[in-house]
Amino acid sequence: MIMQSLAWFGVMAIVMFGAAGTLDWPGAWAFFALMLAMSAIAGGALARHDPALLAERLRSPVQEDQPLADRLLLSLLLLGMFAWMAFMGLDAVRFHWSHVAAWVQLLGGLAILLSIWAIYRTMRANSFAAPVVKIQRERGQTVIDTGPYALVRHPMYVGALLYFAGQALLLGSLWGLAMVPFFAILLVIRIGIEERTLRAALPGYDSYAARVRYRLIPFVW
């Protein structure tokens, strides 16, 4: 967990600071400090309470039993994220297209904290919250309808959207914030892929979907 986290954040730092052309980017340093601290806290808690899920989430984002559509979409999502981070370095630092007040950046940090809390609560409720779309038959996967899953069927994606918005604001990139709908569209497409898989192979999911009508936003969709 530690090695993967350091490698992931290291690549992110190279992309972001490389695009910015300088290390003088307080918003980025605040972002990495926040993410390293919260990743250590949440990862340590997950290691104590659900090591099987932690091991699952440390696996490759491309797996044999993963639908081809999800492999392609997840690859596009990862490429889009790195391109987005590079663009925010150009926007917020190198060319100064955006001008964000300090209090708005603080709101971005708070949004990231809220997103991590939402994602962690989702994982505590669902021990089968793998990073890829698949049915975990070897772990005896069942339908989860407690915690945040009693409100929406895909609560982790709610946390992800909060994270994207928070990162853009904390880094000081309004143009980066304007690109968040692109990630929302990809997540909506992925929800379709995931639900087709679950309805086809996970007993009880159709009944759960009938009880919990909303996929992402209560009373909306």
Tokens at 41, concatenated: 């806290």
Mean pLDDT of 77-94: 97
Number of C-beta neighbours around residue 153 at 10 A: 23
Give the mean pLDDT of the chain: 95
The residues near 210 (Cβ < 8 Å, ≥ 6 apart) are none
Residue 155 CB burial class (10 angstroms; 0-12, 13-18, ≥19): buried
Q: What tens digit of pLDDT does each residue of 116-143 get?
A: 999 999 999 999 999 999 999 889 999 9
Confidence category of residue 19, pLDDT binned at 50, 70, 90: very high
Q: What tens digit of pLDDT does each residue of 139-198 get?
A: 999 999 999 999 999 999 999 999 999 999 999 999 999 999 999 999 999 999 999 999
Cα-Cα-Cα-Cα dihedral sign, residues 196, 199, 202, 205: positive
What is the C-alpha to C-alpha distance for residues 218 and 120, in angstroms, rounded to an integer?
20
Please tell me whether residue 131 adopts helix, strand or coil conformation: coil
Could you state, in order of their start, the residue ranges of all structural domains in the chain? 2-211
Is residue 38 within 8 A of residue 5, CB to CB? The reply is no
**pLDDT at 1 exceeding the cut of 90:** no
**pLDDT at 54 exceeding the cut of 90:** yes
Residue in this structure with the two tokens 């709610």, named with its chain if needed: 158
Is residue 134 within 8 A of residue 63, CB to CB? The reply is yes
- 0.85 exceeded by pTM: yes
Between vectors from CA 51 to CA 65 and to CA 112, what angle results, nearest 5°?
A: 90
**pLDDT at 9 exceeding the cut of 90:** yes
Q: State which fold the 2-211 domain adopts.
A: Four Helix Bundle (Hemerythrin (Met), subunit A) (1.20.120)
Mean pLDDT of 57-63: 86
Look at residue 65 in the predicted model and tell me its pLDDT: 82
Cα-Cα-Cα-Cα dihedral sign, residues 4, 72, 130, 60: negative
